[in-house]
Amino acid sequence: MKYEKLAKDIIQNIGGKENVNSLTHCITRLRFKLKDASKANTDVLKNMDGVVTVVQSGGQYQIVIGNHVPEVYAEVAAAGGFQTASEETSDEKVGLLNRFIDIISGVFTPTLGVLSATGMIKGFTALFLSLGLLTSTSGTYQILNAIGDCLFYFFPIFLGYTSAKKFNANIFIGMGIGATLVYPTFSSITAAGQPLYTLFSGTVIESPVYLTFLGIPVILMSYSSSVIPIIISTYVSSKIESFFKKMIPSVVRTFLVPFFTLLVIVPLALIFIGPIATWAGQLLGAGTLSIYNLSPVIAGTLLGAFWQVFVIFGLHWGFVPIAINNMVVLKYDPILAGVFGASFAQTGVVLAILLKTRNIKLKSLSVPAFISGIFGVTEPAIYGITLPRKKPFILSCIAAAVGGGIIGIMGTKGYIMGGLGIFGIPSYISPGGIDSGFYGAIIGIIVSFVLGFLLMFFGGFKDDEVKAENKEGGRTDVLVKQETVISPLKGNVIALTEVKDEAFSTGALGKGVAIEPAEGKVYSPVDGVLTNVFPSGHAIGITSVNGVEILIHVGKDTVKLKGKYFTPKVKQGEHVKKGDLLLEFDMNAIKEAGFILTTPVIVANSGNYLDVIETEKKIISINEDLLTVVI
């Protein structure tokens, strides 16, 4: 029950459990499929204790939790009853790319833990064999190899289960399709028998036929470890199952729906879907390899440079089926090899920050982020440390690009879907033993780590904090970075909670205060750039040079005036200094039109900062300190 309150707060701020279509999780994130994402209080969620950040990508609403996401997931699922949540179609329109990413993540995410675990076992078994610690005929090797192979060899069965769940179909039908695809009798037929005849002779898809079904030739293929055939077959099966559910009376539906569905889909999978999907997979493997072979260095450099960006938006899932398909078709994958150094680059940057910063809060964040990064989980480092500070994130991408280029030069390839971080090292051992590709992986991650560290350590790291005094004892033992926001108006200061607008009073839009203006002029509260000057003139958004986003909203519902009585003095995109006049408005005319002039001044991205401290003054003038943003 440790995360019970956090779970309830998350459910409340995603729009309630009735706004949730489905819920899954990966290593660090809760992945919601919401009916209406606009109902979620994103800023509130970002500012919660226990939440790192929120990302909306791939048709999913992703709440980044960190390493304890399984425990939080269990609490959220229990509190919301999401184990049996329906897979209704969201009202939100989802593009093809987002739909593809959503399907891939939904199918592969549940297998990720066991896939990494068995891959690690297989990788270390290969390492022990290469070092002569085991022989291929020993019982120890045979058992360890079986554990390492079990999931990947029977992958269609596992993916049949996860695909059926994703497509809202009978999971046991999905598993049945997968089991049929890897049925051992089919392998023995092709190994021992003579083909009846050959189809497509003389072409790249020449196929011997060993048996027929109702006179129709069946092209037997090896579906062990395959990905594409089972996912497509399960999707088609979900449509067939839905059809029979409508046709068959409910009293006999329990067994007749699976009966007819399996009778239709299995032959269809073996005769048409499986061969076509396999050929498509072979073409995909050959295509990605040909692109990689054009320039392994460029491919590795680009993948390394942008991999962490892909992770932020959840787009990295698009590479997973390609990598697995390559391992099935080519027996290796060079694509994901190029990104192996990315997590180490991120970790090297975090280590440099850990050693250089004097900020106690930042140090406390850096220690667990560094440890997680060593084991390949970089979301705490990305969202908690490097991305909010921009430069560290960019430097990590540069270091990862260099490491990826080295890995490309050395021709490094992955041979199994192994663990993350240091546990991924054995994945690059060739079945023939340790080769130059393996050494390339080692060199690549070392260079990525060291370069990330050096770039951050000697790259102009600025720990420009100021001392914050302990008011009780006058002690100065904590160092923080802060930015002061001066008042943009003259008037009386009131708390946000007193504002008659829930978007502001609840803090959903950010922390700050409100001002009852004494004159109709708005001045710039910071040095920065005008990121939003609304056409109606009633609101202005400005981003300071340090990235603090300030929103000044004159009055309630004054957007309805459509610019009447408002005279902007600046244009969007302009750079301004503290005290520059931004806007004039006719106070009397606005009041006579029936509108109140209470003006919230908030930090829109307050969730990115440790705190936003309001002034204690009740009456304020321009150029006087209004807010202190603690970074």
Tokens linked to 22 = 């489905």
Residues 314 and 428 in one domain: yes
CATH number for the domain harbouring residue 85: 3.30.1360.60
Please report whether residue 498 resides in a domain: yes
The answer to whether residues 531 and 604 touch, using CB atoms and an 8 Å cutoff, is: no
Q: State residue 439's pLDDT score.
A: 94
Query: DSSP letter string over 424-475?
Result: GGGGG-BTTBS-HHHHHHHHHHHHHHHHHHHHHHHS------EEE--TTT--
Which of 25, 26, 316, 538 is the catalytic position? 26
Residues 205 and 305 in one domain: no
Q: State residue 460's pLDDT score.
A: 66
Residues 558 and 442 in one domain: no
Q: How far, in Å, CA of 163 to CA of 269, rounded? A: 15
372 — pLDDT class (breaks 50, 70, 90): confident
Return the number of other C-beta atoms located less than 10 Å from residue 417's C-beta.
27
Residues 269 and 342 in one domain: no
Q: How far, in Å, CA of 388 to CA of 364, rounded? A: 16
Q: What is the pLDDT of residues 399-446, one digit of tens each?
A: 999 999 999 999 999 988 777 788 889 889 988 888 899 999 999 999
| Domain endpoint, select from 94, 111, 128 | 94
188-222: b (≥16 Cβ within 10 Å) or e: eeeeeeeeeeeeeeeeeeebbebeeeeeebbbbbe
Strands 539-544, 549-553: parallel, antiparallel or unpaired by DSSP? Answer: antiparallel
| Domain endpoint, select from 241, 269, 292 | 292
Catalytic (active site) residue 68: no
Mean pLDDT (the chain, rounded): 84
Q: What is the pLDDT of residues 461-474, one digit of tens each?
A: 665 343 433 333 44
pTM above 0.85, yes or no: no
Residues 175 and 261 in one domain: yes
131-140: b (≥16 Cβ within 10 Å) or e: eeebeeeeee
Q: What is the pLDDT of residues 33-63, one digit of tens each?
A: 888 888 999 888 888 888 877 877 667 788 8
Q: What is the pLDDT of residues 355-371, one digit of tens each?
A: 988 777 678 778 888 88
Residues 414 and 314 in one domain: yes
Q: What is the pLDDT of residues 106-144, one digit of tens each?
A: 787 777 678 767 877 877 888 788 788 888 889 999 999
| Domain endpoint, select from 239, 268, 292 | 292
Q: What is the pLDDT of residues 254-263, one digit of tens each?
A: 899 999 999 9
Nearest to 578 by CA among 509, 627, 618: 627
Q: Residues of the chain with pLDDT > 70: what percent? A: 89
Q: State residue 4's pLDDT score.
A: 86
Containing domain of residue 45, as a range?
A: 4-94
Catalytic (active site) residue 397: no
Integer Rg of the chain from CA: 29
Mean pLDDT value across residues 281-296: 76
Mean pLDDT value across residues 541-552: 90
Q: How far, in Å, CA of 214 to CA of 216, rounded? A: 6
Asked which of 152-156, 254-258, 340-344 is least confident by mean pLDDT, the reply is: 152-156
In terms of pLDDT, which residue wins out, 290 or 245? Answer: 245
Please report whether residue 542 resides in a domain: yes
Mean pLDDT value across residues 276-292: 76
Query: Rounded to 10 degrees, what is the CA torsion of 490, 509, 75, 310?
Result: -130
In terms of pLDDT, which residue wins out, 575 or 86? Answer: 575
Q: How far, in Å, CA of 523 to CA of 260, rounded? A: 72
Asked which of 81-90, 158-167, 287-296, 327-336 is least confident by mean pLDDT, the reply is: 81-90
Residue 486: is its pLDDT beyond 50?
A: yes
Residues 199 and 304 in one domain: no
Residues 288 and 302 in one domain: no
Cα–Cα separations (whole angstroms), residue 305 to 384, 400, 403, 405, 437: 20, 6, 9, 9, 20
Residues 300 and 445 in one domain: yes
Query: DSSP letter string over 550-618?
Result: EEEE-SSSGGGGTTTTEEE-S-TT-EE-TT-EEEEE-HHHHHHTT----EEEEETTGGGSSEEEEP--S
The answer to whether residues 426 and 376 touch, using CB atoms and an 8 Å cutoff, is: no
Please report whether residue 315 resides in a domain: yes
Residue 88: is its pLDDT beyond 50?
A: no
Please report whether residue 514 resides in a domain: yes
Tokens linked to 273 = 């879907």
Please report whether residue 132 resides in a domain: no
Q: Residues of the chain with pLDDT > 90: what percent? A: 34
CATH number for the domain harbouring residue 622: 2.70.70.10
Q: State residue 38's pLDDT score.
A: 87
Helices 391-409 and 342-356 pack at an angle, to 10 degrees, of 140
Please report whether residue 41 resides in a domain: yes
Q: What is the pLDDT of residues 489-511, one digit of tens each?
A: 999 999 988 888 777 887 777 88
Helix (H, G, I), strand (E, B) or coil at 520: coil
Residue 201: is its pLDDT beyond 50?
A: yes
Contacts of 306-309 spanning 24+ positions with Cβ under 8 A:
306/397, 307/338, 307/339, 307/342, 307/400, 307/404, 308/342, 308/346, 308/378, 308/382, 308/393, 308/396, 308/397, 308/400, 309/397
Which of 25, 397, 553, 575 is the catalytic position? 553
Mean pLDDT value across residues 65-72: 78
The answer to whether residues 516 and 598 touch, using CB atoms and an 8 Å cutoff, is: yes
Please report how many Cα atoms fall inside a 13 Å half-sphere around the Cα of residue 416, on the Cβ side: 33
Q: State residue 17's pLDDT score.
A: 87
The domain total for the chain is 4
Residues 425 and 496 in one domain: no
Helix H segments across 63-138?
69-80, 96-108, 112-130
Mean pLDDT value across residues 65-70: 75
Mean pLDDT value across residues 211-235: 88
- The secondary structure element, H or E, covering residue 326 is helix 320-329
Nearest to 338 by CA among 417, 452, 453, 440: 440
What is Dmax (Cα atoms) for the chain?
Answer: 95
Residues 67 and 172 in one domain: no
Q: State residue 340's pLDDT score.
A: 92
Residues 544 and 581 in one domain: yes
Q: What is the pLDDT of residues 555-564, one digit of tens each?
A: 988 888 888 9
Q: State residue 480's pLDDT score.
A: 44
